[in-house]
Amino acid sequence: MGKSPGILHGSDAQRAGFNRIRAAVEKRESVRAELVKYTKAGSAYWVDLEVVPIADAQGSLTHFVAIEWDITERKQAEEQILQLNAELEARVQRRTRQLEAANSELEAFSYSVSHDLRSPLNTINGFGQLLLKSNGKNLDDKGQHYLGRIRAGAQQMGDLIDGLPSLAKLSRDPLHLEPANISAVTRRIEQECRERDPERQVQVQVQVQVQVQDGMLVLGDAVLLSVVMQNLLGNAWKYTSRQAAARIDMGSETAADSQTVYFVKDNGAGFDMAYVVVPAKLPQPA
């Protein structure tokens, strides 16, 4: 009692804040500032200080009124948020560097695999072309068809190999959105499956029935949509091989939220639905 409030300022109190308050008081102006103070036990606390001059009826200054609000909890919360933000930013930067390193390794691996696969593929395609030129006349229609399918498969494999480096860059490259006829893509892949496995019905005694809804147009990346459909239909074709009457359906339906859902389903081996992973909902294109 009887001492100046300066005893609570401590050695670490902000000089600039007190200087601003002193300057305002000398000008008889109101001022407000946030300051660190200390209890007599030495622990720090934050205050929101407002100083207001009071005048009498003649306008003469009589005294000042100072009000302090303890804002320690708010400042501690702000400090925690700043610390969390700094930790989150550091974590994001670390993850970004790791992702960039992984993408770089994946891209290098894709180029290496593309180079290694290109040589034997060129050999297959080259000898197929030589065989067609030298003995094409001696082959019947079925033989020429088989040879044509070999060369077409080699060409398709070449396209996939050319796409490996592009797929490795997907995390950085934008999608090329355009109208795509997913029905036509599915029909093409279905035909490729039948031509790659023409004896399947004889070997496993199945009758494959594929139903494709016509006229399904989507907005997407045509190359990636083709890759997706090759995987989905390829799996359906593979895992229905032991069915006496295999069936594969590709179509669309309207979900409860009015979104169009495209599906590929079959009556093959399947898996436990308890392990289904629900994909995240993608944003709609503008």
If one looks up domain 5-70 in CATH, what number appears? 3.30.450.20
Q: Does domain 176-286 have CATH number 3.40.50.620?
A: no
Domain boundaries, the chain: 5-70, 92-173, 176-286
CA–CA gap between residue 13 and residue 42 (Å, rounded): 12
Q: Do domains 92-173 and 176-286 have the same CATH topology?
A: no
Q: How far apart are CA 49 and CA 70, in angstroms?
A: 9
The architecture that CATH gives domain 92-173 is Orthogonal Bundle (1.10)
| pLDDT at residue 167, rounded to an integer | 64
Task: For 39-95, write each residue's pLDDT tens digit.
Answer: 878 788 898 989 999 988 888 888 999 899 999 999 999 999 999 999 999 999 998
Q: Are strands 217-221 and 260-266 parallel, antiparallel or unpaired?
A: unpaired
120-172: pLDDT as tens digits: 888 887 888 888 788 877 878 888 778 877 877 777 777 777 766 666 666 56
Residues 234 and 181: their CA atoms lie apart, in Å, by 19
C-alpha angle with apex 138: 196 to 195, nearest 5 degrees?
10
Mean pLDDT of the chain: 78
266 vs 115 pLDDT, higher one: 266
